[in-house]
């Protein structure tokens, strides 16, 4: 599973860059300290994916620690990216695959 997740994380990063949703500067420290799910009160979802989700997942893989076994990012992603329309379908597909791989629904 970790190889699949690693591949999907790379695909997620690539797709965020391709969709021009990748940022060079991180959010403020206070934005990063949010305790709300997906930091939805302090940053857009694409920043949460880039600056929180991807690094945390990579750290777990690098340390060979257990990966989450139940995640559900797709519903919030579908809502957050709805205004961007059809061009985000590939990004949503990658997120759906990650949800499935990490929740054991392959």
Q: Please tell me the total number of residues recorded for the chain in this structure.
A: 106
Give the C-alpha distances (Å, rounded to integers) separating 62 from 58, 81, 98. 6, 29, 17
> What is the CATH T-level fold of the domain 2-102, as seen in this structure?
de novo design (two linked rop proteins) (1.20.1440)
The whole-number pLDDT of residue 105 equals 65
Measured CA to CA, the distance from residue 88 to residue 91 in angstroms comes to 5
End-to-end CA distance of the chain: 10
Measured CA to CA, the distance from residue 2 to residue 61 in angstroms comes to 7
The whole-number pLDDT of residue 66 equals 93
Q: pLDDT tens across 17-55, in order?
A: 999 999 999 999 999 999 999 999 999 999 999 999 999
Whether pTM exceeds 0.85: yes
Mean pLDDT for all residues in the chain? 94
Domain boundaries, the chain: 2-102
Which residues lie closer than 8 Å to 81 by C-beta, 6 or more apart? 45, 88, 91, 92
């Amino acid at each position: 599973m970790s190889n699949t997740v690693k591949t999907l994380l790379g695909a997620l990063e690539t797709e965020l860059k391709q969709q021009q949703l990748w940022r060079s500067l991180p959010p403020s420290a206070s934005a990063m300290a949010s305790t709300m799910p997906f930091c939805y009160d302090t940053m857009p979802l694409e920043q949460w994916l880039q600056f929180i989700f991807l690094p945390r997942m990579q750290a777990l893989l690098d340390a060979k620690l257990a990966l989450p076994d139940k995640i559900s990012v797709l519903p919030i992603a579908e809502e957050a990216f709805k205004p961007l329309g059809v061009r985000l379908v590939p990004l949503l597909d990658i997120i759906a695959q990650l949800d499935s791989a990490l929740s054991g629904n392959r």
